[in-house]
Structure 1
Amino acid sequence: MNSLSLLCTVQALYTFESNDPSSLRFEEGDFIDVLSKLSSGWWDGWCNGQRGWFPSNYVKIIKEYDGKSTKPI
């Protein structure tokens, strides 16, 4: 089984919609597992079985991990 390393779990403060196939769409209140962060403020995450990029200012951090947490894919 493959797995992804998690940096943190966040909760969406707002709904994010995008037509870009590399972006992650989510609804306000959704929980997102963060896999990587760019200095530009865009984060790579996993939500509702989908993976993609999203703006970090749309979310709040709920839990940070020690770098050893993983998510099966």
Structure 2
Amino acid sequence: MNAEDLELLVSRTMPFGKYQGRLIADLPGHYLNWFARNGFPKGEIGRLLALMQELDHNGLKPLLDPLRKGGN
């Protein structure tokens, strides 16, 4: 994990599926857990989804708040 990956979580959107267009940082935990059970996609999107699942699972999502545009 690096700072650039954390910034991507709050700026990159999900490119496919039920939550297409939603920021990766805003994906629901049950959806991230589904990927953890069934396998993450290959490439950057899979790496980011795995990172987001770890943050969500460990209650660390609030760490992303300062990185969001506008400080939301």
TM-score (norm 2): 0.28
More helix as a share of residues = 2
Relative CO higher for 1 or 2, CA cutoff 8 Å, sep ≥ 6?
A: 1
Q: Which has the higher strand share?
A: 1
